[in-house]
Amino acid sequence: MPKAPPPAPSPQVAEPPARWLVGAQGAPQGPVLVDSGPLLALFNAADDWHAPVAAWLRSHPGAALVSTWPVLTEVCALLARRVHNQAALDFLLWVERGGVRLDVPGETSLMQMRRIAQRFADLPLDLADASIAEAAERLGLRRVLSIDADFDVYRDARGRPLTNLLR
């Protein structure tokens, strides 16, 4: 019995080139926290932010992307819903290959995420955003890649804003 051909990938799925892997073109120029929006756009060619995110990554080949478990969870769920399950699987494979370094939260990270969410209670609660803000404080990082305007509002414990590189 002949084998059925494998299903064709969805035309909306856009796999980032290998050159965007962390460290693929020499030493990183420094870590940049990445929120779910740019990652969603990168794997969905139909997303309005796909081209701007891809252009930013091409122009910053040494940027070492760092993200969190809540962000990865959100990206996978939204890719599976908006594009296709294969897009979420492609994203996870890209992360495994070094496309994004996954931050490991500390013992007090959840408590800090809750405190950040309480500090900015006028914004809708978004665990992924709070996890990025918490990682920024804990890791001492100031630069974030996001399409979310909320990152213009978030401040660290000292009141300093994060620098959103996409806005």
How far from the centroid of its chain's Cα atoms is residue 142's Cα?
A: 15
Taking Cα atoms as reference points, which of 59, 42, 60 lies closest to residue 51? 42
Q: What residue spans define the domains of the chain?
A: 29-164
Residue 116 in contact with residue 97, Cβ under 8 Å?
A: no
pLDDT tens by residue, 104-150: 999 999 999 999 888 888 877 789 999 999 999 999 898 999 998 87
In whole angstroms, give the CA distance from residue 110 to residue 136. Answer: 14
In whole angstroms, give the CA distance from residue 128 to residue 74. Answer: 7
Element (H, E) at 10: none
Q: Indicate if the pLDDT at residue 155 is higher than 90.
A: no
DSSP tally for the chain: helices H, then strands E: 6, 5
Sign of CA dihedral 141, 143, 145, 146: positive
Strand, helix or coil at 34?
strand
- Residue, of 153 and 23, whose pLDDT is higher: 153
pLDDT of residue 16: 46
CATH architecture of 29-164: 3-Layer(aba) Sandwich (3.40)
Taking Cα atoms as reference points, which of 143, 156, 153 lies closest to residue 56? 143
pLDDT tens by residue, 43-66: 999 999 999 999 999 999 889 999
| Model pTM score | 0.80
